[in-house]
A and B are shown apart, each in its own frame.
Chain A
Amino acid sequence: MLLFTIRRLGVMLLTALALTFVVFYMTNLPPNLEKLAKSEASVRMSDEDVALWLDRNGFSSSVLTRYGEWLGVMPGWTRTAEDGTVTGRCITKGVAPTDAPARCGVLQGNWGYSTVFKQPVIEILSRGLGHTGWLMLSVMLVMVPSALIIGVLSGMKEGSRLDRVLSAFSIASTATPEYVSGVILVALLASATAGISPFLVESGLISGKTLFQGTATSAMDDITFWNFTLPVMTIALYGIGYIARMTRASMTEVMTQQYIRTARLKGASFPTIVLRHALRNALIAPFTVIMLQFPWLLNGVVIVETLFNYKGFGWTLVQAAGNNDIQLLLACSVVAVLVVLITQLISDIGYVLLNPRIRLA
């Protein structure tokens, strides 16, 4: 098991390297750099000026060298101007060039400087991830249990009325993208003029103007039921349908197995059969799906955070992409890559633990 984990970690590291290089290459394509130069220095620069600016700021070396510098395995570039001042990747203002470290990349904890927010990338990113972390956690807490319950309930008696109702719900919810369900939810529950809020206010059931708040900006400081429900529900709804469908398929298959008949003919009651005999076997397949949902959540997060103006990771990513903020975009990609790889690792290990038929040498 340990050996397996170590081997998987090794493979993960290689994958991470390859993926970040791809992202690095894409974000550092010449047109991007030209745009960067124009936005940083002057929009009306001539082509020669752009080339000069890029050269002065260390963008003239090869992609591989720059990737190495960014990663922190190659010494950062230095450059001595005609007047003798030394500039370089690792030389910050107010530090003597001789005192500056030779390497300063991701490995040294230096994620670069955001051109949009005029702040170090690491600060923006950790703040954004903190916000998103709370969002993701709430989504998972809502989504996974309800999806599994819906899936198991509809799968245990295939074709029953309960199954049809729950299946219809899960198909509808998974067929509605976040940007549609988000808008519908806001209109229905968070509008002072439309939806159900006016009625509730009239009948005196709620004290505020709306049932839920249509923006989650205040949730960045203080998460409440009122301001956080809608973004969480918007993301969770999509996932609930998807995971519930997977669980249902797996559950219906398990319920037709012969060992379920064995349990029935042992005299076990229906709840015992479902809970003790079917559940563990039925959860093996959806577990992988649930783990795959984590990276998917990032997707939903981008839309929902923008929609509800919640300044988390997704919102940051949109800002970085929209404003050609290369360093921030790179950092966001690294985070995404890591999320995918780590959830895959957890998924593989969890699968082995759930399924006794797979044992690792």
Chain B
Amino acid sequence: MSAPARPWTPDQPLLEIENLSISFFTRLREIPAVMDFSCTVMAGEAMGLVGESGCGKSTVALAVMGDLGRNGRVTGGAIRFKGRDLTKMSQSELRALRGSEIAMIYQEPMASLNPAMKIGAQLAEVPMLHQNMPKAEAWALARQIVADVRLPDPDRMLNSFPHQLSGGQQQRVVIAMALMAKPALLILDEPTTALDVTVEAGIVDLVNDLAAKTGTSMLFISHNLGLVHDVCNRLCVMYSGEAVETGDVSEVFTTMRHPYTQALFRSIPLPGADKTTRPLIPIRGNFPLPHERPKGCNFGPRCNYFVEGRCNATDIGMDTIPGNSRHESRCLRWEEIDWQAPPQGAGPRVRRPIGDVVLRMEDLKKYYTVSSGAFGGGLKKVVKANETLSFEAREGETLAIVGESGCGKSTLAKVLMGLETATSGNILLFDENVQDTPIQQRNSDTVSHLQMVFQNPFDTLNPSMNVGRQIIRALEIFRFGSSDAERHAKMLELLDLVKLPRAFAERMPRQLSGGQKQRVGIARAFAGGAKVVIADEPVSALDVSVQAAVTDLLMDLQRENGTTLLFISHDLSIVRYLSDRVLVMYLGHVVEMGTTEQVFSPPYHPYTEALLSAVPIADPKVIKKRIVLEGDIPSAMNPPPGCPFQTRCRWKSKVAGGLCESEMPPVRNLADGHQIKCHLSDEDLAHMEPVIQIAAE
């Protein structure tokens, strides 16, 4: 298995992973991270590796690069690249391959670039290392590649430091760095997870173009099925260290043959899913820890098709599914299962009528003054985080606030909560003005009625206090009950409410999984009978299968209590699934507001149109119009004149007289409750085509 007998030719697999097993060795035990993993990437193919966090997909990528760290080791199998086994190569042989034949693109572009080196030097280093290229020539090549990845002003880029670029630009630089030596294989490890959707769409576009142009093969690692659908032609679904299903993307997406793949698709909000008629189906149970994997099928304990004594009897191998598309599944029962059967236990639910107005915002403004210069002094600048926001939310309603980072949605949440006070305007909470009352001065009733669920459940729980104590603490602050016993009883009730076992009261946050922590966060928010709950990206830090469960819980609680939910998110799929009304924000302005139906169908605000188009959808039946926004979101410190969106708007030419650049568009009412801020004529708006269409079968 050492040197190939004959030289590699493009008709052989470029990368062939065969029965690969990887373990990490700790002082306590050996932890198997990847077991019996096989996959093949042909030249020019894009292979998607999909799975939830901890399933071993990044470990596979690092193993291909030969960089498993000090305690990771390949314990079995082979990784053949162009016929040569990477696991048997020496360090210097590997070094010659890295960066020149195999290049990698990383999840966090900012952290992956050296902060103390100029972009040009970091790029030029690659050909200087591998081809002994002279410095001047390497810089010239770098300039050319920087232009290829569509970065503006390449000369300035080369002489910049990483911190001077935006996130999207940094990722383009990382891509440029990977392309410097024209590699045969590109490994992309969640390349867009840290980026906004519209920026992500641009990067995905770029990656697709480059792959088509250079014929580079790709190993694309992602947890986002929609992205994989957009980028890849082959797919490998991983679960708990094993590949469970592999095949062509279109085939796996339509005729999946593994229960885990099916469950995954049923738990993500695709167009057509709806919280009352077709709710999502979460995968029950928890992801097994690497050293607590069950015998037999790893997915067994969570599988709806599990058969005792058969699925947990022996190790299960990959089974080829007939057909000619190299479709395989690691399931014993794939031939017996009726894959067309409708999901169980997902009947329609009762819709609760929407009640009176509980929260009203009138012309709310929040400005910050910031000073430039590192040591005080300097110029004072005004950041307009929120500009004249007016809206109302009713009892039992879900109002989604959508927008990309920097659009002011979190500022809005802070002002509402009283963590900041408004610059001007009114906030009426149950007909009470709260805009000038910081949270310290609000009475405990107001505080307990207006609560928040935070984005990151890992940081919002006190690590040194057990779960029960944290909930009781919230009850104490809300002045609930008269005795400790009463509060303790209420705490147990709350755990029941969020479907956590009562024994969890004694656990510490570190013993909980992400989804369980978020449930504790929800229990804390609902402790005082909250009437209005602000959920700031409550599920974006969680895995897809857990997302469905947490969303489900929020919806249940809302239905039971008639809570008003302000759902802040950048994920339009989930917004479409659960919200009644949507508010789209851009640079502090509400550019569009209306019912979910109104916002998700034409006429759109041009920004909403681009946002909708940017969201990857994991459904081959969906036909989507591709609109990629040019450039980055302008800085809120220095917003463009006129309409905030005019710098990136593709409809701008339709408006005569440069109106977009000079005047802020007024709020227009298109239909009952549907308003947009745009200069486009009624005629142009009427001509807009829907971005997403579901093809007839």
Asked if B378 contacts A361 (CB within 8 A), the reply is yes
Asked if A277 contacts B114 (CB within 8 A), the reply is yes
B111 interfacial contact with A, CB 8 Å: yes
Q: Which residues of chain A are near B374, meaning CB under 8 Å?
A: 358-361
Asked if A267 contacts B67 (CB within 8 A), the reply is no
B85 interfacial contact with A, CB 8 Å: no
* Bound: A359/B130 CA distance, A: 34
The stretch that binds B, out of A59-67, A183-191, A255-263, A309-317, is: A255-263
Q: Which residues of chain B are near A265, meaning CB under 8 Å?
A: 65, 67, 98-99, 103-104
Asked if A357 contacts B115 (CB within 8 A), the reply is yes
Q: Which residues of chain B are near A269, meaning CB under 8 Å?
A: 95
* Bound: A212/B556 CA distance, A: 84
Asked if B96 contacts A267 (CB within 8 A), the reply is yes
Residue of B nearest to A7 (CB): B375
Number of chain B residues close to chain A: CB under 8 A: 32
- Which A residues from 247 to 281 make CB contacts under 8 A with B? 257-259, 261-269, 272, 276-277, 280-281
Asked if A267 contacts B95 (CB within 8 A), the reply is yes
B100 interfacial contact with A, CB 8 Å: yes
Number of A-B contacts (CB under 8 A): 82
The 8 A CB mask of A137-171 against B (1 = contact, 0 = none) is 00000000000000000000000000000000000
Q: Which residues of chain A are near B161, meaning CB under 8 Å?
A: 356-357
B108 interfacial contact with A, CB 8 Å: yes
* Bound: A49/B130 CA distance, A: 88
Q: Which residues of chain A are near B111, meaning CB under 8 Å?
A: 257-259
Asked if A267 contacts B114 (CB within 8 A), the reply is no
B163 interfacial contact with A, CB 8 Å: yes
Instruction: Indicate which residue in B112, B116, B373, B378 contacts A258 across the interface (CB closer than 8 Å).
Output: B112
Q: Which residues of chain B are near A323, meaning CB under 8 Å?
A: none
Evaluate whether A264 and B130 lie within 8 angstroms (CB atoms) in the complex, with A4-B375, A259-B115 already known.
Answer: no
Tell me how far the C-beta of B464 lies from the nearest C-beta in chain A, rounded to whole angstroms: 25
Interface of A is mostly: helix
Asked if B98 contacts A267 (CB within 8 A), the reply is yes
Residue of B nearest to A266 (CB): B99
Evaluate whether A361 and B372 lie within 8 angstroms (CB atoms) in the complex, with A267-B130, A268-B125, A281-B116 already known.
Answer: yes
Residue of B nearest to A157 (CB): B70
Q: Which residues of chain B are near A257, meaning CB under 8 Å?
A: 111
A355 interfacial contact with B, CB 8 Å: yes
The 8 A CB mask of A341-361 against B (1 = contact, 0 = none) is 000000000000011111111
Tell me how far the C-beta of A279 lies from the nearest C-beta in chain B, rounded to whole angstroms: 9
B497 interfacial contact with A, CB 8 Å: no
Residue of B nearest to A263 (CB): B114
B97 interfacial contact with A, CB 8 Å: yes
Q: Which residues of chain B are near A7, meaning CB under 8 Å?
A: 375
Evaluate whether A259 and B112 lie within 8 angstroms (CB atoms) in the complex, with A265-B104, A267-B130, A361-B372 already known.
Answer: yes
* Bound: A281/B162 CA distance, A: 14
Evaluate whether A266 and B177 lie within 8 angstroms (CB atoms) in the complex, with A358-B374, A361-B373 already known.
Answer: yes
B140 interfacial contact with A, CB 8 Å: no
* Bound: A267/B181 CA distance, A: 11
Residue of B nearest to A259 (CB): B114
Instruction: Indicate which residue in A267, A280, A355 contacts B99 across the interface (CB closer than 8 Å).
Output: A267
Asked if A262 contacts B106 (CB within 8 A), the reply is yes
Q: Which residues of chain B are near A277, meaning CB under 8 Å?
A: 114, 117
Q: Which residues of chain A are near B416, meaning CB under 8 Å?
A: none
Residue of B nearest to A262 (CB): B112
Asked if B67 contacts A264 (CB within 8 A), the reply is yes
Greatest chain B CB density within 10 A among A258, A354, A358, A359 is at: A258
Tell me how far the C-beta of B578 lies from the nearest C-beta in chain A, rounded to whole angstroms: 35
Q: Which residues of chain B are near A356, meaning CB under 8 Å?
A: 115-116, 161, 163
* Bound: A306/B97 CA distance, A: 61
Tell me how far the C-beta of B58 lies from the nearest C-beta in chain A, rounded to whole angstroms: 12
Evaluate whether A355 and B114 lie within 8 angstroms (CB atoms) in the complex, with A267-B98, A361-B373 already known.
Answer: no
Greatest chain B CB density within 10 A among A264, A266, A276, A284 is at: A266
Residue of B nearest to A356 (CB): B161
The 8 A CB mask of A6-34 against B (1 = contact, 0 = none) is 01000000000000000000000000000
Tell me how far the C-beta of A273 lies from the nearest C-beta in chain B, rounded to whole angstroms: 10
Tell me how far the C-beta of B118 lies from the nearest C-beta in chain A, rounded to whole angstroms: 8
The 8 A CB mask of B110-124 against A (1 = contact, 0 = none) is 011111110000000
Greatest chain B CB density within 10 A among A7, A259, A265 is at: A265
Asked if A268 contacts B129 (CB within 8 A), the reply is yes
Q: Which residues of chain B are near A266, meaning CB under 8 Å?
A: 98-99, 103, 125-126, 129, 177
Residue of B nearest to A258 (CB): B111
* Bound: A357/B374 CA distance, A: 11
Q: Which residues of chain A are near B97, meaning CB under 8 Å?
A: 267
* Bound: A238/B670 CA distance, A: 77
Tell me how far the C-beta of B160 lies from the nearest C-beta in chain A, rounded to whole angstroms: 10
Asked if B116 contacts A280 (CB within 8 A), the reply is yes
Q: Which residues of chain A are near B104, meaning CB under 8 Å?
A: 262, 265
Residue of A nearest to B95 (CB): A267
Q: Which residues of chain A are near B129, meaning CB under 8 Å?
A: 266-268, 272
* Bound: A361/B371 CA distance, A: 11
Contacts A262-B104, A264-B98, A357-B163 known; list 13 others, CB within 8 Å: A4-B375, A258-B108, A259-B111, A259-B112, A259-B113, A263-B114, A265-B103, A266-B177, A267-B96, A267-B98, A272-B129, A281-B116, A361-B378
The 8 closest A-B pairs by CB, nearest first: A267-B99, A361-B373, A266-B99, A267-B98, A258-B111, A259-B114, A356-B161, A280-B116
8 pairs, A vs B, C-beta closer than 8 Å: A258-B111, A262-B113, A266-B98, A267-B98, A267-B99, A272-B129, A360-B374, A361-B372
- By a beta-carbon cutoff of 8 Å, the part of chain B in contact with chain A is 65, 67, 95-100, 103-104, 106, 108, 111-117, 125-126, 129-130, 161, 163, 174, 177, 372-375, 378
